[in-house]
């Protein structure tokens, strides 16, 4: 990211969510605040999306990852979840749309410059900041997540759900594993949902060309892709860290769940959406 400037990929992701509301009527993921936080009207959003039809795949992927994460939060609420951390929140509106009220505390962690810009966007769009939302500024590369969360009043003894959407590819592997290590070590269980990409060398020629074009575009926004993961290695490392349950959806699994009619028509490699859960390791003192 450019020092002192808000993330431009955060704007791009929000524009995709807004375009999904207009062009697909929010069929995969409904967000009534998506246009408002962007500050653009439906015609402008649709026109910009039409100027770059190749953006459709990414738009649908972003709608799916957000839907998947929010569905997983709703499922965890049934099992006692009371705390969510949105890592690298960008212009994500979950906290402002949360139907759970004070039942669910939400922390938004993001680069200080992006977070200040988001707060201004919320103000400009007259979207109130709800009582259950707390902002926690953090630069993943230079500060630690526990410090930032502790300063914001995070309760590390609570089961917690972390969403980390569209952020991991932009971080160094060191920053990624240090964050996952923190999550894995929370004493009363934690969940994390994040997305990542297969290594470019494993992609089909067509997908690799698309990926390389996107890499050039994001690098021009001063937010280069810094990492890719081999699924088997990633899953093994997550298990070794203490994540007992790992659900890793690559393109075939994503298609099976969200587009059952298109199974077999999508490539095997590409973007993944992963959910990992720990059961916690706090002892009861019994026995």
Question: What residues make contact with ligand SAM under the rule CB under 6 A?
Answer: 1, 7, 9-10, 13-14, 88-92, 110-111, 114, 138-141, 165-167, 170
- Whether the CB-CB separation of 21 and 31 falls below 8 Å is answered with yes
**Beta-bridge partner residues of 271:** 197
Cα separation, 26 vs 179, whole angstroms: 31
Instruction: Please report how close the Cβ of residue 263 comes to ligand SAM at its closest, in angstroms.
Output: 26
Residue 117 or 229: the one with the smaller Cβ distance to ligand SAM is 117
Nearer to ligand SAM, 3 or 284 (CB): 3
**Least separation in angstroms between CB 135 and ligand SAM:** 12
Nearest to 56 by CA among 198, 210, 199, 264: 210
Shortest approach of ligand SAM to residue 164 CB, angstroms?
7
CB-nearer residue toward ligand SAM: 20 or 111: 111
Output the six-digit token pair for 71: 């569905």
Query: Rounded to the nearest whole angstrom, what is the least distance from the CB of residue 284 to ligand SAM in the complex?
Result: 36
With beta carbons less than 8 A apart as the criterion, state whether 241 and 155 touch.
no
Instruction: Give the Cα separation of 66 and 165 in Å (integer).
Output: 7
**Cβ distance to ligand SAM smaller for residue 134 or 188:** 134
Which residue of this chain has its Cβ atom nearest to ligand SAM in the complex? 90
Given the complex with ligand SAM, which of 83 and 148 has the nearer CB atom? Answer: 148
Q: Which residues contact 12 (CB under 8 A, 6 or more apart)?
A: 221
CB of 211 to ligand SAM, least distance (A): 15
User: Which tokens sit at 174?
Assistant: 């060191």
């Amino acid at each position: 990211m450019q020092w002192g400037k808000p993330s431009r990929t955060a704007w791009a992701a929000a524009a995709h969510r807004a375009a999904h509301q207009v062009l697909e009527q929010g069929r995969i993921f409904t967000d009534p605040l998506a246009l408002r936080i962007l500050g653009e009207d439906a015609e402008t959003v649709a026109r910009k999306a039409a100027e770059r039809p190749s953006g459709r795949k990414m738009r649908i992927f972003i709608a799916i990852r957000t839907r998947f994460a929010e569905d997983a939060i709703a499922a965890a609420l049934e099992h006692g979840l009371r705390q969510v951390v949105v890592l690298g929140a960008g212009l994500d509106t979950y906290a402002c749309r949360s139907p759970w009220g004070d039942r669910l505390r939400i922390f938004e962690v993001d680069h200080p410059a992006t977070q200040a810009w988001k707060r201004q966007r919320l103000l400009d769009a007259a979207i109130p900041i709800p009582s259950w939302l707390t902002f926690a500024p953090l630069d993943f590369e230079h500060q630690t997540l526990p410090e930032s969360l502790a300063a914001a009043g995070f309760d590390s003894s609570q089961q917690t759900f972390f969403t980390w959407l569209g952020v991991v590819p932009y971080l160094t592997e060191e920053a990624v594993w240090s964050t996952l290590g923190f999550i894995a070590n929370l004493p009363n269980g934690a969940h994390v949902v994040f997305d990542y990409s297969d290594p470019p060398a494993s992609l089909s020629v067509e997908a690799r060309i698309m990926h390389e074009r996107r890499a050039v575009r994001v690098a021009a926004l001063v937010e280069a892709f810094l990492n890719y993961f081999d699924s088997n290695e990633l899953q093994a490392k997550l298990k070794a860290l203490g994540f007992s349950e790992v659900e890793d959806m690559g393109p075939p699994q994503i298609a099976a769940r969200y587009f059952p009619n298109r199974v077999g028509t999508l490539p095997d490699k590409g973007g993944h959406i992963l959910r990992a859960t720990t059961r916690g390791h706090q002892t009861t003192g019994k026995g």
